[in-house]
Each structure stands twice: as C-alpha cells, then as structure tokens.
Chains A and B, each alone.
Chain A
Amino acid sequence: MSNGVTPVGHGDVTQRVGVEVIRARGVDVEKLIKMLIANAAAEFASTYYYYTILRMHLAGHEDYKEICEDARLEDRAHWELIVPRIYELGGELPNDLPAFHNQAGCVAAKLPDPPTAVNILTVLLESERCAIRSWTAICDMTFGKDPRTYDMASRILNEEIEHEAWFIELLAHERDGKSIPSGHFRRGEPGEAPYSKNRRFYNP
C-alpha cells in the first residue's frame, strides 16, 4: 500500500481512488454516505418540500414570504450540490421516496396549527437549527481528511447559519417586538445561494 491507500488496479471501475484516499485518512466512508443521505433527505423533503407549503401561508407578510422563499430555494441548491457526492463515494439514493424521507435526520417543517406567522417562523427557525447541527457533524467528520466533502458541507453550513440568523431576526420582531439583527442585508435574486451555488472555484 502507498501511504496506507489501498491500491486500485489499472482500469478497475469497481473501486475509486477518490474514496480510498479519504478512507486511508480515517474517514468511515460508509458512515459518511449514510449521513449525507440523511442530510440530503432533510434538504429535499424536510425543508424544500415543506417550505413550499409554509411560504403559501404568509399572506400579508410579503417580506417574510420572500425570505422564506430564499431559504427554500437555497435548501434545494444544497440538495443538488450534495447528491452527486453521494454517488461519487459509492452510495446511492433510495429508490423509494417515502423510504428516503424516513432517512431524514431532521423533522419535517410541516405547516403548524394554527398557521400564524409566529408559528411558521418558529418552524423555519428550528428547521435551520437542525440543518446547522447536521452539516456541522459532516464538517467535523471530514475536516482535514476529505477536502471535497468538507468544501461542499462548509458551503452549505455557511448558508444554513445565515438562514438561522434571518429567522431569529424575524421571529424576535414578530413575536417579541425585539430587534436582534441578522447582520445581513438582502440577497440578490431569489435562491441566489452565494456559497453553495454561485461562488466559483479559482479556475484561470
């Protein structure tokens, strides 16, 4: 073995050097795949799908609606970003949508009863918090060992932290009449996703 990396035969398509190098550095690849699938399920089902519904029930709060939409589209971008990595690592998505949703490590952001702005903002806030915890776990697992997954996870984590800040600001205002600024101004186009979608790699 070279540097602890399992050799991959010339022309062998059953193994991946990209996987063996990170395994040699201590990444439990099988566990990582399961965690990425759980996070992908949370992005696609627990958040993107259910945020679509939440957004429909914010009439009269067009500002909240717009920010909910930004978070919704960025969570969809997170799903799109991470799915290819699951396959690169040798995993695959479940071929059954309900089973896939059951894999989600975060609670579905279901429409609360009653669907008041305060209740919806609370659901949104706690959904983002679970996302922060889930992506932090991936970052912890891959830092210094799997640069590619770490890069993707940290891009997503950046945006989840921004989402939490938005909903803290909005909930503190709506429910408590308090000002707890997010520190951000505005996104550009809806779903701009400045970290997970539009930041280009250096490539002269």
Chain B
Amino acid sequence: MKGSDSFLIVLETPKGERSFTCHRNEFIWNAAAHNGVNLPAICHQGRCLTCAGRLLSGSVDQSSANSYFPEDKAAGFVLLCTGRPCSDLRIRTHEQLYMRQHRAKLGLPAPYL
C-alpha cells in the first residue's frame, strides 16, 4: 500500500510494463528487485551506467550516485541503483548504451564503452 513517503514507480521494460511502490529513502533498483523485477546493474555505486534508465515523468534524487552530471539530468537519464524517488515516476529501463553514448559525446566518463 502506498503511504505518504512512498511513490508509485512504473517501469517500461523490454518485457513490458511493471509497477511497484518505492519509499523515498529506498533505491529504485532495490525496490524493483524486492518486487521481482530483475534489472541490469553491476557496480551499485552510481558509476558504471549499467542500470541507466530514461526518466519519462517525475523527479529522482541522484545525490547518492558517484558519477552523475547535470548533463545527465538534462538529457533525462537516471541511475536506478542509486536513485531515490521524489515523486511518482515513469522510467524506461535498459538505457545503458544510450547513456554511455551520451557521456562519450560530451567527453564524460563512460565505462564499458
């Protein structure tokens, strides 16, 4: 049940839409895992970009990510392993390739590219 500190997360994944609630202090990737949604990730530090998604609506707190730039936010990318919801969210998952290409174009760190 959604409380005042929990938000509805809707993920658009390659296998279809999945939704669950996530507390404002919980990482989105963790909440997804607890709800049986298996998302890609490696570092769990907000560094490697494997968990990258595209924020379609809502607001995400990325203050725990090790490597997240204003340019990432401007382009709509989020890192689910270290992102916390500030509102209800709709996110397209599995965007790692596009986020790495975005970083490379800007000369920003792009592991695994």
Q: Give A residues with C-beta under 8 Å from B.
A: 31, 34-35, 38, 41, 102-107, 126, 129-130, 133-134, 137
List, in ascending order, chain B residues with CB within 8 A of A38's CB: 48, 111-112
Q: How distant is A58 from chain B, measured CB to nearest CB, in Å?
A: 23
Does B44 count as interface, using CB distance less than 8 angstroms? Answer: yes
Interface size bracket, B side = 10 to 19
Contact between B48 and A106 (Cβ–Cβ < 8 Å)? yes
A102-B108, A105-B47, A105-B50 given; 13 more Cβ-contact pairs under 8 Å: A38-B111, A38-B112, A102-B111, A103-B109, A104-B111, A105-B112, A106-B43, A107-B66, A130-B42, A130-B44, A130-B47, A133-B42, A134-B42
Interface of A is mostly: helix
Looking at the assembled complex, report how far the CB atom of A86 sits from the nearest CB atom of chain B, in whole angstroms.
13
Min CB gap A117→B, angstroms: 22
Check: B33 CB closer than 8 A to any chain A CB.
no
Q: How far is the CB of B69 from chain A (nearest CB, A)?
A: 12
Assembly CA distance A102 to B47 (angstroms): 10
With both chains docked as a complex, state the minimum distance between the C-beta of B29 and any C-beta of chain A, in angstroms. Answer: 12
When the two chains form their complex, are residues B109 and A134 in contact, meaning their CB atoms are under 8 A apart? no
Q: Residue B45 at the A interface, CB < 8 A?
A: yes
Q: Say yes or no: A126 contacts B109, CB within 8 Å.
A: no
Look across to chain B and name the residue whose beta carbon is closest to the beta carbon of A131: B43
